[in-house]
Structure 1
């Protein structure tokens, strides 16, 4: 078969076939009377072998070695090709992400493109101070692409830089919530924790909805961050998690204060008081837990908390009894102060 027909059937150009011949990679078995290359069936089979190995990323030199050395083991070369391909894909993925970030910033000109490229470079700096400065300076100048900020906050471990990123995202309003919300549902627990902290600094119904979803997270840290924020916003869905924080002693003082704020709603107050009393009476409640629960009662409004504390002042656990007795005095003083004017006279 002549070279033109081989090229037509194999899809390999005549130029490449001549190149294979010059390298000794695929040499035609014969020549016609006129000197034209003539390929046998075995030659054509070798051409397809060469093309198959090329499709794996092997160089022509590597292909020649593979075809000429029967003892040649492909495992090492294939492993090397895998690593090189993975590295190339990683670089291309990073390039694709940069391009998407630039596209999302809707640049009006090349100066805008260069600004985003510079910010990307600064946010990848090993210096936390440079990363923080990059966010603050850019935020004062022109809006930073929220997708870029979100990606950075998901990866940032330095608390100062993370704070600057959250501040910049909060300024973005609804766009900031949308860009960070995906992190709350990530499989990576560190990303979920960072995302919920960022959402906690954002206002609006959308942010509240995302935080409410976070109350069901499998990670206690995510749930607690969400509960503290929601409780301060008056969302009663946070009550069970806040009560659990008091029980286990994690940010229990802050959780008790938030529960006290929620208890200003009479309906919610009864629910919280009942839960606190139930936990105090539980067989699993040790002394330290009962002390925390007793201390939480002082944050509750109304006379119900006073009554429970008066009972606890006679508790069998001396530490609980002493604390309850002292807190009764605090509540009585607080109540009497409510009936006095600024000048201290009775009203």
Structure 2
């Protein structure tokens, strides 16, 4: 029964794209661009994804970056159209299928990010966004993810109403704000053969540091970002609590005002006087503006993403610690040898 109710309340699933296939050349271009321009916490590297759609599979075959230093007279749309026009002349896939962006420790969720993806999905239904983390890649973890907005989030942005009632009407929560699309990296057979030859050239001792606890710094940065996001969410929660208290106080004042006018009208009727004219109560008590709930929802989604990464790195670190402990303990055969040597001495 619980599973049935869970399925009934489950959000609509976007079946437009269920797989993103990225060519190895595109991954190399994204990594090069993000490491050159998006390695700091301030700079963010962004670019355009080009490719084609085959059924429910999105194939990303090429990309090009956005220029970093923009002039006042620079037109971003003209630049994209000109680049795609040049690519079409050299017989390269020029269909616009999304965009990519660099991030630091997975902190990519923001209202600006959601607005950009909403613009892409409304103009190009199959578009996705690729998120790449240069710092994690330097630590040995290739972090390249594909995301799309859910249909509920798209409908909410179309209505342009981010109040609590609108979010409740669309059955939207921080868990259903966006969805991750499965991503695979595709290479040609020649590239795969080259990778096999390069793997054989690598010395045997290289790349075998499986018990390296290099995730400690990554885990620390995730925890710092998680703490900052929790503090921001707490501030927004306090603002919403203040708004609720103000609404309750205003409702009480309205009731007192209506009761006072009713008593005064009753006294005037007893004296034979005309009752007071009807007055619009909304002019006396102006409605309190509802604080938008989109920013707290984005913060909650970012906190959930950080918690997922912290859980992943903690499980890896604990597994490595247990393996290290088992390797450092002497084996039974070594213990007998040590005992025998102590007796001979």
TM-score exceeds 0.5: no
| More strand by percentage | 2
| More helix by percentage | 1
TM-score, with length taken from structure 1: 0.24
Higher relative CO (Cα under 8 Å, sequence separation at least 6) belongs to: 2
TM-score, with length taken from structure 2: 0.24
Bigger CA radius of gyration: 1
